[in-house]
Amino acid sequence: MSGVRGGVVVAVDQGTSSTKTVAMDGSGQLVARATTPVGQANPRPGWLEQDPEEILASVLASVAEVVAEVGTDVVTVGLSNQRESALVWETASGRPLGPMLGWQDRRTVPRAQELARAGASDAIRRISGLPLDPMFSALKIEWLLDQVDPDRSLAARGAITVGTLDAWLLSRLTGERRIEAGNASRTQLLDVATASWSEELAALFRIPMAALPPIVDSDAVSRPVAESWGDLAGLSFSGVLGDSHAALFAHGVREPGLVKVTYGTGSSVMGLSAGSVAEATGMVETLGWQRAGVPARAFEGNILSVGSTLLWVADMLGCTTEELDRLARSVPDNGGVYLVPAFSGLGAPWWDEAASSVMVGFGPGNGRAHVARGAFESIPLQIEDVLERADQASGVRVATVLTDGGPTRNDWLMQMQADLSNRQVQRSDVAELSVSGAAHLAGLSVGWWSEADVAAMPRQRTQFEPAPDAGRSRAAIRGGWADALRRARVSRSA
């Protein structure tokens, strides 16, 4: 590191279930942490809503806790956020006009099907780089506008702003109207080739261009936070990234070649790309980040159910996730039981909203432990399906997988990933990787660190190699998984 620096960078990671805030000192060490839970509501099956004001309160509370602990100057602030979640707000005040629809919300499936029948899918994929799917923000924004501005008169004159969580938080805290480029690329309203809003897509989703905030670089320094916002008052945000993009940045990936997998409620497989991503790979095209006006292009595969699968099976079996883990380890194999957790359809590489959850291969010879094992195996099996497509997207086989996220604390699961993928797994031992990426970018933006400083920062990792004898069972397990997938997707294959 070049010299000793006083003070800290504070970074916030706003996720689906909690807001985490950290303070990072000049050497890249995390010197304070705080977590504040946030709630979510499921008013109907397939619907997921969150209260924007509760999210804002959680940000303020976790920042206050960290600032009180470090007792030193805060240089700047970074933000990583859950992506695709969407909301609409009053431009002048920042007041939200309804709930935030979470990225898992599927209420817009009928509208997606309507657009597909109208032949819009190809244009949407070609322009945005993303398949027509309710996960992305555009359909959510259209639905929210239908509730508060059905004739679009307010949105058309800019009295309403629409966007992702980063855009709303900065609007509320600083009064600035802006959206970070990587988050904008997840709305399905961005022309991924030009990194600008697409008039064609906006018209298709009935979203007035005047309602879309200006797109800014990921390291653009914001206006200072207003004086009424407690410990953030007077500070600026200088690094904003979607959570998965922030994890890729924290891994130190700056060029094509390496791929990271973030395990959480769902999972994101992401790497930088040298060019466009073929639709046939099942991977989507997105912007990792944008600096000095230059977008870093990326490919990604999104898996909808990872940690949520374990929570659901544990609840079904009347146990905790820790007990589920012990059950799964108590048997040598899955006994022929496979679980395809298509609770909200399937994401990458299939993008099949009509797929159904199935559990196959169970019978009198199976017990709870085999079901538990099938639940755990569904995670690396889904991820390997996407990694195979990442091989195609990058043009070379991905030999090493960089992993992060809560479920990766499980050594057994990481070894299973290495065995079933026949790839080396390097797990980040920094639990707060997304928020670390936001901190790195924020410090870089204001010149607190150089690129060489960030590259030299500690990145503790644990390595898992495929077991020498794993090949014998790998083919059989993956064959059974392929059969289970066919059953889950029977409506498409019929």
Q: For 77-102, write each residue's pLDDT tens digit.
A: 999 999 999 999 999 999 999 999 99
CA angle 181, 182, 187 (to 5 degrees): 90
Q: What is the pTM of this model?
A: 0.87
pLDDT of residue 494: 42
The tokens describing 412, both together, are 């057994």
- Chain-centre distance of CA 363, in angstroms? 36
Neighbours of 406 (CB within 10 A): 13
| E strand spans, 222-363 | 237-242, 259-263, 267-272, 284-291, 294-303, 338-340, 358-360
Contact 458, 29 (CB under 8 A): yes
CA-CA-CA-CA torsion for 94, 141, 201, 158, nearest 10 degrees? -30
Close Cβ partners of 407 (under 8 Å, ≥ 6 residues apart):
263, 264, 306, 307, 310, 379, 413
pLDDT of residue 394: 74
Element (H, E) at 88: strand 86-90
pLDDT of residue 491: 54
pLDDT of residue 273: 86
The tokens describing 154, both together, are 């307010």
Q: What are the CA-CA distances from residue 245 to residues 9, 48, 197, 268, 438 (Å)? A: 19, 23, 20, 9, 9
In 3D, which of 293, 389, 350, 313 has the Cα closest to residue 485? 350
Close Cβ partners of 163 (under 8 Å, ≥ 6 residues apart):
86, 87, 137, 141, 179, 183, 184, 187, 212, 213
Find residue 403's DSSP bridge partners: 261, 427
**Which regions of the chain are under pLDDT 50?**
1-4, 492-494
Distance CA 467, CA 440 (A): 35
Per the CATH hierarchy, to which homologous superfamily does domain 303-425+466-493 belong? ATPase, nucleotide binding domain (3.30.420.40)
Neighbours of 399 (CB within 10 A): 12
Q: Which residues of the chain form CATH 3.30.420.40?
A: 8-241, 303-425+466-493
Per the CATH hierarchy, to which homologous superfamily does domain 8-241 belong? ATPase, nucleotide binding domain (3.30.420.40)
Identity of residue 247 = A
